[in-house]
Amino acid sequence: MSRENTNASGSAFGSSFRSMLRSMYLRMFLPSIISSLALAVSNVADALVVGNRIGEAGLATIGLATPVYLAYSLLGTGFSRGGGVTHSRLTAAEARDRALCHCRRIFRGLLTAGVMIAVFGNLFLGTLLDALGAGENVPMLRMLCKEYLQPIITTAPLFFLNFLLYFFVHSDDNPRLASLGFTVCSILDLALNILFVLILHWGVKGAAWATIIAQAVSVLILSTHLFIGKKGILRLKSILAARAPAKEVRASCAASLRIGFSSSMSYLFQFLFMLLGNHLLIAAGARGAMDGELAVAVFDLVMNISFVTVSVYQASSEAMQPLAATFAVEHDSQSLQYVLQAALYSGLLLGLVLSGLLAVFTGPVAALFGITTPAGQAMAIPAVRIFLLSTPFSGILVVLVSYDQSTDRVRTAALATLLRSAVFLLPVTLLLGLFWPEGFWWLFLAAEGLTLAVMVPLQRYRRKKEKGGRIPVLTCTMTNDNRELGAILEEVEAFCADNEVPPGTGMQLQLAVEELCAVTMAQAFSGKDGEYIRITLAAEPGPKYVLHIRNSAPYFNPLDMKMEQARKDMASEVMDSIGVMMVRKKAKSLSFRNYQGYNVLTVEY
């Protein structure tokens, strides 16, 4: 059961409340789009700088090292993205100590993996080079790969620490700092590549150290959140001192890994896809079906362009994730629907504009990557434009997977990732490469389209099924008009009667709504238009009754109000503080959180 109260305007989900949600989303989206585009530019810039300076051997070295970066992304994203989502859910549920212990254990696990990679990677570096294809039969490539990979492998813990700090800082109510760290890292990586490779002529070793120094600077920036940060709960001293039941922490960590690896497994499939694609195109060239080496170059061009196009959708997903995780804990289905739509619309709007520009200027873009011959342009232009047709489909899937991860639908997210990264992509790649290499570029549209064709009906079926099994939830929205509070209390009373809430608990819930909303309107609101209070009451299993009250006022924590003032006078503030104290005394728990500039009170009975 779900009930929805109407506000004074008669709209169940008024424009002012939509404006509040829009503001919350944009606060997350703008930093995310900056950091995502910066990362995309950094990824493309590495290929441009090294290729232009060293030539084919340099590009080959970067290409052979790609599996190492994919392995880093597999582990780093698997631990960190899932950890960030779980952190958002735990802090939204006011499980502070559990969130801190969960953070500590996730950090310890991934950093331990980084140390092991650094140690064993150096011990067996020769074996690794052989596995990557830089064998003794290609001494020049082997030497370049060793120069490039040895410092990268040695500093594996640094890369993993950057992953962890970015996702946890982003989810700990500080997306601006996360964006700053990531953006500085990307820009510095590019600048140092130019300095070390193009100016100082350090070769591939210079490219490696440019990346390492950029990672270190990002870690320093993001680490300030742990020492002098003013937002969120993650402080180094608190993380080290926190204690929570080991069983609960293990459960949270297991949930994090399920969420994170449901999407990061795509890096493993991406490695297989790139390897398979290169071999098929080279084989097609050997059969005389096409210029194999040129086709591989065009394939690399398409993959580099994909880094840029997908960054827009990744930004909208990163902006949505912590909000969706918070609203899922609050059982606020309408706010969930809004942020999902916001992520889809913003991603598609910017993504389509970007794809349109790339389609118009495909020739110059290909030339920028070194494909300048008439034959190269003739192959690259249609290949890129065919690929661009698939980007809206892939973008929708990226957002849907992120939404499912945030709302604890891990299996659905994992299925979508598996379909688009392996089940459809690899067979389609194989079939086109073997039987229609000239149409090889249609594989992106085919794989993404098939995945979407499966996932959309599945999503609709799942939501229809979940709708019938939802817990009872009451959602109310009111303005700063005191007259609306009476209607809200009637809704709470009716909800309690419909769901057989014990009379005593029902009275306490009504008292909590009345007192906490009244004190907000009296002490925090200015009386201007656009001020809103969002109330969500859920009857959870147990039974347990959880009340979330979110308002758009400036920072205001009613729990800070002091009863001692009652001895001096009986001003309205003092009377309000008495009401808050009554709620605190009767409730099982009462907590306050300021998230994305909005005040959230959580009461449990």
User: Distance between CA 160 and CA 107 in Å, rounded?
Assistant: 9
pLDDT, tens digit (0-9, with 9 covering 90-100), for 14-57: 566 677 778 778 878 887 887 777 777 777 766 667 666 665 45
Same domain, 425 and 508: no
Same domain, 243 and 263: yes
Same domain, 517 and 408: no
- Phi-psi region at 593: left, alpha or beta (left = phi > 0; alpha = psi -120 to 50): beta
Angle at 309 between CA 308 and CA 315, to 5 degrees: 85
What rounded mean pLDDT belongs to the chain? 83
**Which residue, of 467, 491, 508, is where some domain finishes?**
467
Rounded average pLDDT over 148-174 = 92
Same domain, 495 and 456: no
Question: In this structure, which amino acid lies at residue 475?
Answer: T
Same domain, 239 and 258: yes
Same domain, 74 and 192: yes
Same domain, 74 and 187: yes
Q: With a threshold of 0.85, does the pTM exceed it? A: no
For 15, the enclosing helix (H) or strand (E) is helix 15-54
For 544, the domain range is 473-604
**Which residue, of 444, 467, 490, is where some domain finishes?**
467
Q: Which residue has tokens 């019938």? A: 468
More confident residue, 602 or 563: 602
Count of structural domains within the chain: 2
User: Distance between CA 215 and CA 163 in Å, rounded?
Assistant: 10
Collapsing DSSP states into helix, strand and coil, what is residue 346?
helix
Whether pLDDT at 133 is above 70: no
pLDDT, tens digit (0-9, with 9 covering 90-100), for 318-369: 888 888 888 888 888 888 888 899 999 999 999 999 999 999 999 988 887 7
Buried b (16+ CB within 10 A) or exposed e, 325-353: bbbbbbbbbbbbebbbebbbebbbebbee
Whether pLDDT at 571 is above 60: no
Same domain, 400 and 493: no
Q: Which residue, among 556, 484, 554, has the nearest Cα to 513 in the 3D structure?
A: 484
Same domain, 454 and 480: no
Give the full edge-to-edge strand order of the sheet including 533-540: 2-4, 473-478, 533-540, 544-551, 598-604, 589-595
Same domain, 463 and 565: no
Number of helices and strands in the chain (H, E): 21, 6
pLDDT, tens digit (0-9, with 9 covering 90-100), for 84-118: 888 888 887 778 899 999 999 999 999 999 999 99
Same domain, 593 and 449: no
pLDDT, tens digit (0-9, with 9 covering 90-100), for 198-221: 888 888 888 899 999 999 999 999
More confident residue, 53 or 461: 461
CATH number at residue 568: 3.30.565.10
**Which residue, of 452, 467, 482, is where some domain finishes?**
467
Same domain, 454 and 499: no
